[in-house]
Amino acid sequence: MGQNKNINVWEWVQELRGLKSAIKQRQLSRQEAIKTAEHLLERYLRRGAKPTTDVLNAHLQLHETKMGMEKTIQRYRDQNGTPVNTTTYNVLLSKSSCLEEALLLFDEMATLGIYPNTYTLNGLITLSKSFSEGLLIMDNLSSYDISPNIQTYNTLLSKANTKIEKEKILEEMSNRNIPRNLVTYNTLIGKAVDYPSAAALFMELKSRKLSPKINTMVTMLKKVNNRTDLQHLLRLQEEENIQPNHAWHTNLRKVEKRI
């Protein structure tokens, strides 16, 4: 059956993305969303639509496991000849349990002539076991002319354990004109040696016109070592008018017991 030209496949993609949003907002369970996606597939096929790679990728993102994704890819491929692309592999890679598993997918991409992109790079670095391994991945993928982004550097920064490693990342960000964002500062605060160092980073993020969030304050709270630190942090929280959450209250109780 030929494709019905009156069918807007983009609407199909949007419906699938709506299901993903419904999962996130807890309006549907993952199981219910996947079942609805299967019904959508049958319905659009009956109408003469041919699923595109965008449809496949939107469907894949409803799955929680790599196995579920692979079964869906196989079904689309066998029944409809739907091709895969870089995004397909990035979604699969995001569900890999370790770097070795992800690198097998990367090899598959190379075999199929599918080029990686920045999301591929970030996914591999996320799975790396150390800062040096992350840097090696970035170096190995440089031949693909992939441009690292803020997520790349924030992920590497989260793996940095020494002052030299942190400075290397911050310097490279500066050289590439990639501004630090709130995630950068939350990560740096989390790695600060003490509360005064964390507080200095807090003032720096404010000087860059960034707005701290409750997770920033919780990270700061974990650096508190005495009553003076705590009073200073509570003053900052009040000035910023940041509403506490469960994590804040839990960590506050721990700090109060400790000091």
> Mind listing the pLDDT tens digit for each residue in 198-252?
999 999 999 999 999 999 999 999 999 999 999 999 999 999 999 999 999 999 9
Mean pLDDT of the chain: 95
User: How many percent of the chain have pLDDT more than 90?
Assistant: 97
Same domain membership, residue 158 and residue 202? no
pLDDT of residue 130 exceeding 60: yes
- For the stretch 219-231, pLDDT in tens is 999 999 999 999 9
Same domain membership, residue 231 and residue 197? yes
pLDDT of residue 5 exceeding 80: no
What pTM was estimated for this model as a whole?
0.89
Tell me, yes or no, whether 110 lies in a domain.
yes
Closest CA to 233 of 195, 194, 193, 181: 195
Same domain membership, residue 156 and residue 188? no
- For the stretch 68-115, pLDDT in tens is 999 999 999 999 999 999 999 999 999 999 999 999 999 999 999 999
Among 84, 119, 139, residue at a domain's last position: 84
Average pLDDT over residues 122-144: 96
Q: Give me the number of domains the chain comprises.
A: 3
Measured CA to CA, the distance from residue 71 to residue 114 in angstroms comes to 20
Same domain membership, residue 58 and residue 14? yes
Same domain membership, residue 34 and residue 65? yes
* pLDDT computed for residue 6 by the predictor: 52
Tell me, yes or no, whether 249 lies in a domain.
yes
Average pLDDT over residues 109-127: 97
Same domain membership, residue 148 and residue 199? no
Measured CA to CA, the distance from residue 162 to residue 210 in angstroms comes to 25
pLDDT of residue 4 exceeding 60: no
Give the number of other CB atoms < 10 A from CB of residue 155.
Answer: 23
Tell me, yes or no, whether 172 lies in a domain.
no
pLDDT of residue 141 exceeding 70: yes
Among 84, 109, 140, residue at a domain's last position: 84
- Owning domain of residue 235: 180-259
Same domain membership, residue 16 and residue 78? yes
Tell me, yes or no, whether 1 lies in a domain.
yes
* pLDDT computed for residue 1 by the predictor: 45
Among 57, 84, 111, residue at a domain's last position: 84
* pLDDT computed for residue 7 by the predictor: 67
* pLDDT computed for residue 8 by the predictor: 82
Give the number of other CB atoms < 10 A from CB of residue 209.
Answer: 6
Confidence band, pLDDT 50/70/90 cuts, at residue 67: very high
Same domain membership, residue 110 and residue 80? no
Left (φ > 0), alpha (ψ -120 to 50) or beta: where does 145 sit? left
Same domain membership, residue 124 and residue 190? no
Tell me, yes or no, whether 173 lies in a domain.
no
Same domain membership, residue 73 and residue 152? no
